[in-house]
Structure 1
Amino acid sequence: MRKNPVIPYALIALLGILAVIVISIIGIDQREQIQQAEEGEQTEEGGESSEGESGEGETSDDPEAIFESNCASCHGADLSGGAGPDLTQVGSRLSEDEIQDIIINGQGSMPPGMATDQEAEVLASWLAEKQ
């Protein structure tokens, strides 16, 4: 009985194709990281004016917009909770200062820094009214 000489070559080709796919996936992730690092360097090189502009663009005075972009994924779009606790009556349990402290410093599974200090102040005032 003779062995088929094509099978080893087919296996080598298949392994080569899989290696190319894996390397491509790794490269895509690294490309995104490099782009993010370059964007960060450009912001730093731009000085304070660049940082001020990006900060102003990201800071909002609309508590509902802040909540939607930073909080709704865990607390629900209607404040009813989900991964995070129900906030529909948070103002009856916590003061505005306590709410602001939690937004800035985190608590339990909530990470710190979910909003800027200014956004935390606006958001805490809005949430404190929920009673």
Structure 2
Amino acid sequence: MNDQTVKTESPGQRIVLIALVVMLAITLAVFGIRQLYKSDPYIKEVLSRSGDAVQGHAIFQMNCAGCHGLMADGKVGPSLKGVSTRKSRTRLIDQVISGKTPPMPQFQPSPQEMADVLSYLKSL
């Protein structure tokens, strides 16, 4: 007679296991994205610079206000009030330069201009 014990997981154990796997996947994805951003020369250059919020405001007015509003309070694009508390500087850079969120166009400011825009966004 073959004496094998079959172990079954309870539904609670299964949920915990799934949650751990999901958390691990998210952690690895975030770490991978951060590593990618850290290796991007443009992003590294932007993050190494100090921005000027006054210059950033002028750049915003010329390039972004048409969709985000003169006061960055939303129009076609969303309000950007408090955006720097919701998104990291790296994510903001990616948002601006990628064009991944239509109808926002891809925009490639110089590293100093991007640093200036980040300073302006932080001031909102």
Taking structure 1 as the reference length, the TM-score comes to 0.48
Runs of 4+ in 1 over 2 A off after TM superposition: 114-118
The farther-off stretch of 68-77 and 99-108 is: 99-108
RMSD of aligned alpha carbons: 1.8
Tell me, yes or no, if the aligned pair for 2:95 and 2:101 is still in contact at 8 Å.
no
Cα displacement string for residues 66-120 of structure 1 (whole angstroms, at most 9, x for unaligned residues): 0000000000001110110100110111011211121111231111125333312
Question: 2:119 and 2:99 mapped to 1: Cα distance?
Answer: 17
Question: 1:63 and 1:72 mapped to 2: Cα distance?
Answer: 12
Percent identity reads: 36
Question: 2:85 and 2:116 mapped to 1: Cα distance?
Answer: 18
Question: 2:94 and 2:112 mapped to 1: Cα distance?
Answer: 12
**1:64 shift after superposition:** 0.9
Tell me, yes or no, if the aligned pair for 1:104 and 1:117 is still in contact at 8 Å.
no
Cα displacement string for residues 31-59 of structure 1 (whole angstroms, at most 9, x for unaligned residues): xxxxxxxxxxxxxxxxxxxxxxxxxxxxx
CA gap 1:121/1:106 in 2 versus in 1, 3 angstroms:
farther
Q: Which one scores higher on RCO, CA 8 angstroms, separation ≥ 6?
A: 2
Residue aligning to 1:122: 116
Larger helix fraction of residues: 1
Question: 1:87 and 1:77 mapped to 2: Cα distance?
Answer: 11
Which consecutive unaligned segments of at least 5 residues does structure 2 have? Answer: 1-53
Which consecutive unaligned segments of at least 5 residues does structure 1 have? Answer: 1-60
Q: Give SS of 1:62's match.
A: helix
Within a 5 Å distance, the mapping from 1:98-113 to structure 2 comes to 98-109=91-102, 110-113=104-107
Larger radius of gyration: 1
Taking structure 2 as the reference length, the TM-score comes to 0.50
Tell me, yes or no, if the aligned pair for 1:75 and 1:85 is still in contact at 8 Å.
yes
**1:121 shift after superposition:** 2.1
Count of residues in correspondence between the two structures: 70
**1:65 shift after superposition:** 0.5
